[in-house]
Amino acid sequence: MDNIELEKPKEVPSILSKRKLLPGDRVLWVIVAMFFAISVVAVYTASSQMGFREGTIDRELQRHLISIGLSVAILFSCYIMGANLFRRFTKLAYIVSWIMTFIAYFTGDGRNNAERWLDIGFFSLQPSELLKIGTIMFLAAQLSARHHRISKVHLLPTTFDVRKWKTPQELDIIMNDIVPIVLPIALSCAVILPAHTSSAIHIFFVSMVLLFIAGIRFKEIMKLLAVAAVVGMMWLAVAGRIGTVIKRVATWAGIELVSEDGKKEEGSKDTYYSQMAIQNGGVFGVGAGRSMMRLKLTHPESDYLFAAIVEEFGLLLSFVIILLYLWLFFRSLRIFEQCEWLYAGLLAVGLALLVTSQGFLHVSVCLGIIPETGQNLPFITRGRTGMFCASIAVGIILSISRQVEQGTLLPPSQRNNMSKHI
């Protein structure tokens, strides 16, 4: 018996003991790197169209490389932060971004008949893009705080009789459900809508999907959608934007509009040129810098960049871009499933939905599936605001994935219990 040595139990390595260069979901880092690489090529070929005439190839490429460098710095800054810090500054982020979006109407630069850009020195900022992120952060906080009764949450009063809203039951619904959840969505849409209707619709539908993921009853979401549709149509009629909407839809549908004096109104030809670019590209494309439709499209570097990429590099690269967006979303959905803290999970999936849905809106416009929206291609389109905001969103997702892997992402209740036992 003395000669028998007992086998020592093997120690299970702790997740905290694993030292990686970049803890968390490394696949997301690969996805972002591929987006940036595609963006460099796309911007270089876009600059080549004007380069021989103005000699601006190197300058445009250098500016874009600086934008990518700053985006990486922003992404990494968000990555090293924690979900607790994001939660602490949620209200401040929402309020500041909303105020900036409102101020842009009075002090901002006008572009495309809309005052929605703020000049902050080295670049022009589109604050509505920041407000989208702030809205998702605010919703994630409010929904997670009500997870214990999420199936009983009301998004509208139970009656449209205003006189009954003073009853204790209706007041409770208004103050505890509608004001914290619906009001922020409404305020965000209201301040974005006059300048960029499609962005307001975008953040509204992303918010609706996030409500559904959180567990809000489908019936409540559909009622809110119906009310929003009525209010939206009334605003378009009052603001005089209904004509613009009809013109864009008619152009998309191929319908010729005739003015009162009998003349045909020419709509935007960008959709036609975009589809021509995709047709010209085929499977393998015409080659880098050889796109002909870039010279005809109004904004080939932003609103119709995907079409120009397909024309030059073919459908193969376009499928890669689409798969990257899908991959980003499903990786974020996996992070959501792993989160013990609902706020962090909702924040991750909400921001992923914001980025990927914007990418698919851009692609849908280029393919002619939906009318023109003016949405850029996240991580790829030239433009610092879009690239910076996409980096913030994915940086937060990466931060949450890092905390999940390290085991430091705990709900506030569990953190409080642990602090009591220490």
Ramachandran assignment for 334, one of left (phi > 0), alpha (psi -120 to 50 degrees), beta (any other):
alpha
Name the pTM for this structure: 0.85
Q: What is the pLDDT of residue 94?
A: 95
Contact 163, 231 (CB under 8 A): no
Q: What is the pLDDT of residue 115?
A: 52
Residue type, 333: L
How many other β-carbons are positioned within 10 Å of the β-carbon of residue 364?
15
List, for residues 123-151, the tens digit of each pLDDT value.
678 889 999 999 999 999 999 999 999 98
Q: What is the pLDDT of residue 60?
A: 72
pLDDT band at 196 (very low <50, low <70, confident <90, very high): confident
Q: Which of 341, 342, 336, 334 is nearest to 408 (CA)?
A: 341
List, for residues 215-228, the tens digit of each pLDDT value.
999 999 999 999 99
Q: What is the pLDDT of residue 242?
A: 58
- Domain ranges in the chain are 21-80+249-412, 90-240
Q: Which of 304, 317, 316, 319 is nearest to 273 (CA)?
A: 304
Q: H/E/C letters for each residue in 139-169? A: HHHHHHHCHHHHHHCCCCCCCCCHHHHHCHH
pLDDT band at 247 (very low <50, low <70, confident <90, very high): low
